[in-house]
Amino acid sequence: MTQVGKILVLVIMAFSLVFLGISTMVFVTSKNWKDATAKKDGEVKKVRSELQTAQAAVDAAKKTLEENQARAQQETKGLETRIRTLEEQNKRDLTEITKVREELAVQLATAKISVEDAEARRNETTLLRQQKSAVEKQANEYQLRQADLNDKIRELERMLDTATKNNSDLRERVAKYTTLLQSKGLSTDITQIKGMENPPPVTGEVKKVDPTNKRLEITIGSDDGLVVGHELYLYRTKPRAEYLGRGQIIAVDPDQSVVRVLGNTVQGKKIKEGDIVSSTIIPRF
Q: Are 245 and 264 in contact (CB under 8 A)?
A: yes
Q: pLDDT of 97-126, one tens digit each?
A: 888 888 888 888 888 888 888 888 888 888
Residue 170: which pLDDT band, with cuts at 50, 70 and 90?
confident
As a whole number, the mean pLDDT across the chain is: 82
DSSP characters for 172-228?
A: HHHHHHHHHHHHTT----HHHHHHHHS----EEEEEEE-TTSSEEEES--GGGT--T
pLDDT of 85 > 80? The answer is yes
240 close to 248: Cβ distance less than 8 angstroms: no
* Angle of CA points 140, 142, 146, to nearest 5°: 120
Give the mean model confidence (pLDDT) for residues 144-171: 83
pLDDT tens profile 188-209: 665 555 555 567 899 999 999 9
| CA–CA gap between residue 229 and residue 282 (Å, rounded) | 18
Nearest one of 239, 244, 218 to 230, comparing CA atoms: 218
For residue 252, is pLDDT > 90?
yes
Q: Rounded distance, CA 161 to CA 154, Å?
A: 10
Question: Is pTM, for the whole model, over 0.75?
Answer: no
Q: How far is CA 178 from the centre of its chain?
A: 66
pLDDT confidence band for 49 (50 / 70 / 90): confident
Q: Is the pLDDT of residue 181 over 80?
A: no
pLDDT of residue 193: 55
Handedness of CA 50, 53, 55, 58 (dihedral sign): negative
Helix (H, G, I), strand (E, B) or coil at 270: coil
Give the tens place of pLDDT for each residue, 218-238: 999 999 999 998 999 999 988
Taken in order 159, 164, 166, 170, the sign of the CA dihedral is: positive
Question: What pLDDT does residue 36 have?
Answer: 62
- Please report the pLDDT score of residue 32 as a whole number: 57
Between 183 and 242, name the one with better pLDDT: 242
Q: Using alpha carbons only, what angle is made at residue 143 by residues 140 and 145, rounded to the nearest 5 degrees? A: 110
Instruction: Provide the pLDDT for residue 231.
Output: 92
Cβ atoms of 234 and 245 within 8 Å: the answer is yes
Residue 104: per-residue pLDDT: 85
Q: Which amino acid is at 157?
A: E
Nearest CA-CA partner of 231 in 266, 210, 206, 261:
261
pLDDT band at 75 (very low <50, low <70, confident <90, very high): confident
Tell me the angle at which helices 33-183 and 3-29 cross, rounded to the nearest 10 degrees.
170
Task: Please give the pLDDT value at position 43.
Answer: 74
**What does the pLDDT average to over 49-59?**
77
- In angstroms, how far is CA 78 from the centroid of its own chain? 70
pLDDT band at 72 (very low <50, low <70, confident <90, very high): confident
